[in-house]
Amino acid sequence: AFGVLKTAGRLTVRVRKGFRDWYSGYFGAASLFTNRMFVAFIFWALFAYSSFVIPFIHLPEIVNLYNLSEQNDVFPLTSIIAIVHIFAKVILGVVADLPCISVWNVFLMANFTLVLSIFILPLMHTYAGLAVICALIGFSSGYFSLMPVVTEDLVGIEHLANAYGIIICANGISALLGPPFAGWIYDITEKYDFSFYICGLLYMVGILFLLVQPCIQMIEQSRKKYMDGAH
């Protein structure tokens, strides 16, 4: 009887501990949505990744359209994006670690470069031009290595796991909806250019949400200076 009571007591403690962990984790994640800057970051994630995957979807068709298959078979354009992307993650991480450089500035500049590359890519009709733009896309997309750091700046180290999971989920939804949306645009217009332009515009909308964070910081700093001056 004592053994049964002891086992039941241990099970009760485990159940209570598990419920406490679940409660704190669930409502800890829910409280993140009260953070305006984090919510803006989620909207960026919903718009951004759909544009990043568009070149992988349409590049093979663009290569066939401009009769660049022979050159592309020697060194595929998508491989250029992937190879440069690997090195860019390390390079941008090293640059962002420099004491005189802000991680947010590196993150924003990489996003601006990526959306500019997406706009320019349809204008390139040669293999060399497409290769240069693909290299820019691969390099600027290296900002993915900075996403955990940016997320930690927004929510703090305690909520990083939940917040980063939400951001990755938003990226996944964006990547899932992006290719069908680009294909739908092509079915309507029968041109690949409009897929890049429209998705690039959506990416610009996502970048505008990123600008909420520095704007809020500027407003808070100016308000703090005003209050200090009043005192």
Reported as a single tens digit per residue, the pLDDT across 147-204 is: 888 888 888 888 888 888 888 888 888 888 888 888 888 888 878 788 888 888 888 8
24 pLDDT exceeds 60? no
Same domain, 3 and 99: no
State how far the Cα of 119 lies from the Cα of 114, in Å rounded to an integer.
9
Single-letter residue type at 13: V
Same domain, 102 and 30: no
State how far the Cα of 145 lies from the Cα of 57, in Å rounded to an integer.
23
Rg (Cα) of the chain, in Å, rounded? 23
Burial class (CB in 10 A: 0-12, 13-18, 19+), 178: buried
State how far the Cα of 69 lies from the Cα of 121, in Å rounded to an integer.
17
Same domain, 16 and 103: no
Same domain, 20 and 103: no
Same domain, 178 and 71: yes
Same domain, 67 and 10: no
Q: Which domain holds residue 49?
A: 36-229
Within a 10 A sphere around the Cβ of 1, how many other Cβ atoms? 5
Q: Which two structure tokens, joined as six digits, stand for 133? A: 């733009």
Question: What total of structural domains would you count in the chain?
Answer: 2
pLDDT on residue 25:
52
The pTM of the full predicted model, rounded to 2 decimals, is 0.75
Same domain, 81 and 158: yes
Same domain, 88 and 21: no
Among 25-39, 120-134, 186-200, the range scoring the smallest mean pLDDT is: 25-39
- Residue 188 or residue 27, greater confidence: 188
CATH number assigned to the domain comprising residue 170: 1.20.1250.20
State how far the Cα of 185 lies from the Cα of 216, in Å rounded to an integer.
36
124 pLDDT exceeds 80? yes
State how far the Cα of 210 lies from the Cα of 169, in Å rounded to an integer.
18
Residues in the chain: 231
pLDDT on residue 27:
46
State how far the Cα of 76 lies from the Cα of 39, in Å rounded to an integer.
37
pLDDT on residue 34:
76
